[in-house]
């Protein structure tokens, strides 16, 4: 019966959303396009009314109205049912968001209302239980509720994003609590069903937005349900911390990214803008839909990791926690590099109050690589033990792992620095760099084995551990650097704009020319592909661009790809061939350009 209520939530939202949309349009409750907003046409607001109603009415079937009396005769230690607290809290934040949608509350007023609701939840006995100190844990609980509530509010920046991430988070909670805490599972199921129905109208192109009354309601419910993870029996204390964070990984990442970059750019964190993770993905060349779907995918993977963490012990959980954290960290670092506004993104870092060393480390991003490698080294060493030993043996060898971990981390970071891992340029990776990384990983393993032998006489250590660790560390080192190189190239390809050209010549000259086009957007050129007179090259790819055919196929290629310019990448051809190319371009009305590299003496130029 309770899961049947989720179907009622879905049906109610499907029916109510068009009604709310029509009423909002009649009343003039619409969001008009502005410079700091993403939508391009007036769109109805107040979709949160349909979301709230579709969840709250079925939720009433879970509530014993006699429980409301406990609000006035509360006996500390007797926690009210989660359904009761969830209904009271979501109603309060819904009203707060609705008022804000109608009259635009001041940020501090809205924040005060959220803190009051969060304080009520903490007063009623719901806490994160992350700290033994009751005072510290209570403050953190309030911060968690307010933070996650606002994180979903900020996430409502592109069609379908907040509703979709909320639905995925709710489904993750259903998977965690099914058969363990029925009330939480049922509430999450109702929420997921209502949001799935709302997405029918809110996914790109959206015909209605949820407004603050919807996003605040979603954020509050997710924050309350994740609180309950620590209230139920778990495999390990680590699950009570890691699982909630992984469920809301995308809202946390987006809020952190936006807040830090706005502060470092000298802008107010509370000011709206088109600088969220979704907007940055569009700058990379994603469509609006694909950007949202990509974030759905990241949220789903993180959610699966949360379920795994919840159902496994503390010794196994890191094998899911660390990869997810590193992946999200890499994504956040990469997205932070994209220039959204004309001014310099990190203007505050150039303030004279910062030391030159801090500016240099931060601006060149090498500090972030050191931090990334720190986590990567620790995880590789941990995973080596997990792969080498079964669960029974691992309990014994885990003590060996903990004892030697600091020494291994120190040895590997020193080796990385000595060999030159941190002397490379961010985002570039060549065959020479691969050789450096292989040397660094090998030297790091040799140094670790030497130190372990010297300090611990290699007692209770396994040679296989260090072989597995070398393989994992090498793969991680190459993988992280390769990630920046590949995603950088992908972004440059997707963001190319300008006159569409075909490059004549898929040889060394063509490769050099293509690299220059990819790294110099000032050329205002977008390659459609190559042509080459060598029949063996036709159909193959060079740096991701296809060899479309030979010179004889050019008329069809021009028509199919809208080419306006033929760009020659070779020199020293016969005058007869060049004359034929010129005649062809003249007949078909396309421009002809030639790529060349010249090294000139400065004295001659003077």
pLDDT at position 39 is 59
Question: What percent of the chain stands above pLDDT 70?
Answer: 84
Predicted confidence at residue 358, as pLDDT, reads: 37
Choice among 164-168, 281-285, 364-368 with the minimum mean pLDDT:
364-368
Dist. CA 190–CA 436, nearest whole Å: 54
Whether 74 shows a pLDDT value over 60: the answer reads: no
DSSP state of 208: B
Residue 349: pLDDT over 50: no
Residue 305 has pLDDT above 60, yes or no: yes
Give yes or no for residue 152 having a pLDDT over 60.
yes
> What is the band of 75 on the pLDDT scale with cuts at 50, 70, 90?
very low
* Residue 343 pLDDT > 60: no
Q: What is the pLDDT of residue 189?
A: 95
pLDDT exceeds 50 at position 585: yes
Q: Which of 10-19, 256-265, 510-519 has the highest mean pLDDT?
A: 10-19
By percentage, how much of the chain surpasses pLDDT 90? 31
pLDDT of amino acid 302: 95
Model confidence over 181-198: pLDDT tens digits?
A: 888 999 999 999 999 999
Question: Does position 48 have pLDDT exceeding 60, yes or no?
Answer: yes
Distance CA(458)–CA(448), nearest Å, equals 11
Cα–Cα dist 575/580, whole Å: 9
pLDDT confidence of 367, banded at 50, 70, 90?
low
Decide which of 112 and 368 is more confident. 112
C-alpha–C-alpha distance, residues 24 and 47, integer Å? 9
Q: For residues 161 and 154, what is the distance between their CA atoms, to the nearest angstrom? A: 10
Q: Residue 2: pLDDT band by 50, 70, 90 thresholds?
A: low
Work out the average pLDDT over 599-603.
63
Residue 5: CB atoms within 10 A of its CB come to 21
- Given a cut of 50, whether residue 356 has pLDDT beyond it is no
For 23, 339, 417, 437, the CA distances from 422, given in Å and listed in that order, are: 59, 24, 6, 10
Give the per-residue pLDDT at 360: 41
| Residue 461 backbone class (left: φ over 0; alpha: ψ -120 to 50; beta: rest) | beta
- Given a cut of 60, whether residue 466 has pLDDT beyond it is yes
**What pLDDT is recorded for position 320?**
85
Structure tokens at 6: 């989720």
The whole-number pLDDT of residue 134 equals: 82
As to burial, measured by CB atoms within 10 angstroms (0-12 exposed, 13-18 middle, 19+ buried), residue 293 is middle
Whole-number pLDDT of residue 562: 85
Q: Which residue has the higher pLDDT, 527 or 39?
A: 527
pLDDT at 352 over 70: no
| Range of weakest confidence among 109-123, 206-220, 416-430, 571-585 | 416-430
pLDDT at 36: 56
Q: Where in the chain are the domains?
A: 4-336, 364-492, 496-603
Looking at per-residue pLDDT, the higher value among 604 and 225 belongs to 225
For 142-190, what is the HEC assignment?
A: HHHHHHHHHHHHHHCCCCCHHHHHHHHHHHHHHHHHCCCCHHHHHHHHH
Assign domain 496-603 one CATH number from 3.10.20.30, 3.30.43.10, 3.40.50.720, 3.40.50.11540: 3.40.50.720
Q: What is the mean pLDDT of the chain?
A: 83
Q: What confidence score (pLDDT) does residue 108 get?
A: 82
Q: Is residue 38's pLDDT more than 70?
A: no
Q: Give me the pLDDT at residue 213, please.
A: 94
**Residue-level pLDDT at 311:** 85
* Top-confidence residue, 246 or 562: 246
Q: Which of 7-11, 376-380, 479-483 has the lowest mean pLDDT?
A: 479-483
Judged against a pLDDT cut of 70, whether residue 424 lies above it is answered with no
User: Of 264-268, 383-387, 536-540, where does mean pLDDT reach its minimum?
Assistant: 264-268
Q: Residue 201's pLDDT band (boundaries 50, 70, 90)? A: very high
For 515-539, write each residue's pLDDT tens digit.
888 877 778 888 889 999 888 888 8
Residue 240: closest CA among 135, 129, 121, 86: 129
Residue 260 burial by CB count (10 A; 0-12/13-18/19+): exposed, middle or buried?
middle
Over residues 6-33, the mean pLDDT reads 91
**What pLDDT is stored for residue 53 in this prediction?**
96
Q: Parallel, antiparallel, or unpaired: how do β-strands 43-44 and 30-31 relate?
A: antiparallel
Name, of 28-37, 200-209, 541-550, the range with top average pLDDT: 200-209
């Amino acid at each position: 019966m309770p899961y049947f209520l989720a179907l009622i939530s879905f049906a109610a939202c499907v029916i109510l959303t068009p009604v709310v949309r029509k009423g909002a349009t009649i009343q003039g409750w619409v969001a008009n396009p502005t410079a700091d907003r993403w939508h391009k046409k007036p769109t109805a607001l107040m979709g949160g009314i349909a979301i709230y109603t579709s969840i709250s009415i079925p939720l009433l079937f879970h509530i014993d109205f006699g429980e409301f009396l406990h609000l006035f005769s509360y006996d500390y230690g007797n926690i009210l049912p989660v359904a009761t607290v969830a209904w009271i809290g979501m109603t309060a934040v819904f009203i707060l968001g609705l008022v804000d949608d109608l009259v635009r509350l001041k940020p501090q007023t809205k924040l005060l209302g959220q803190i009051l609701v969060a304080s009520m939840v903490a007063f009623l006995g719901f806490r994160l239980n992350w700290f033994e100190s009751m005072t510290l844990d209570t403050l953190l609980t309030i911060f968690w509720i307010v933070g996650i509530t606002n994180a979903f509010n900020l996430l409502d920046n592109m069609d379908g994003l907040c509703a979709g991430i909320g639905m995925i988070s709710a489904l993750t909670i259903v998977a965690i609590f099914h058969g363990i805490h029925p009330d939480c599972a049922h509430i999450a199921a109702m929420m997921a069903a209502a949001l799935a129905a709302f997405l029918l109208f809110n996914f790109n192109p959206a015909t209605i937005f949820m407004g603050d009354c919807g996003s605040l309601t979603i954020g509050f419910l997710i924050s309350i349900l994740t609180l309950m993870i620590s209230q139920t029996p778990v495999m390990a204390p680590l699950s009570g911390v890691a699982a909630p964070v992984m469920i809301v990984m995308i809202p946390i990442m987006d809020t952190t990214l936006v807040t830090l970059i706005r502060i470092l750019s000298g802008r107010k964190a509370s000011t709206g803008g088109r600088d969220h993770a979704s907007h940055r993905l569009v700058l990379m060349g994603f469509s609006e839909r694909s950007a949202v779907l990509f974030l759905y995918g990241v949220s789903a993977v993180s959610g699966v990791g949360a379920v795994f963490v919840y159902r496994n012990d503390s010794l196994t959980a890191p094998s899911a926690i660390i990869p997810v954290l590193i992946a999200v960290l890499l994504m956040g670092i990469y997205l932070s590099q994209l220039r959204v506004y004309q001014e310099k993104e990190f203007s505050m870092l150039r303030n004279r109050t910062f030391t030159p060393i801090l500016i240099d480390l931060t601006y060149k991003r090498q500090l972030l690589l050191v931090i990334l490698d720190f986590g990567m080294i620790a995880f590789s060493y941990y995973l080596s033990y997990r792969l080498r030993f079964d669960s029974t043996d691992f309990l014994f060898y885990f003590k060996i792992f903990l004892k030697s971990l600091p020494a291994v981390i120190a040895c590997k970071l020193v080796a990385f620095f000595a060999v030159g891992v941190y002397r490379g340029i961010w985002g570039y990776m060549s065959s020479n760099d691969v050789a450096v990384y292989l040397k660094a990983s090998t030297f790091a393993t040799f140094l670790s084995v030497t130190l372990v032998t010297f300090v611990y006489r290699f007692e209770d250590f396994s040679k296989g551990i260090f072989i597995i660790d070398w393989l994992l560390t090498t793969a991680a080192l190459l993988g992280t650097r390769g990630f920046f190189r590949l995603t950088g190239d992908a972004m440059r390809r997707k963001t190319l704009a300008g006159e569409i050209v075909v490059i004549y010549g898929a040889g060394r000259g063509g490769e050099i020319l293509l690299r220059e086009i990819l790294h110099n957007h000032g050329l205002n050129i977008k390659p459609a592909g190559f042509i080459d007179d060598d029949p063996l090259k036709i159909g193959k790819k060079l740096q991701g661009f296809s060899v479309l055919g030979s010179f004889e196929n050019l008329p069809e290629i021009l028509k199919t790809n809208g080419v306006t310019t033929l760009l020659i990448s070779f020199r020293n051809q016969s005058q007869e061939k060049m004359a034929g190319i010129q005649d062809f371009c003249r007949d078909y009305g396309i421009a002809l350009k030639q790529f060349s590299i010249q090294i000139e003496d400065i004295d001659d130029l003077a």
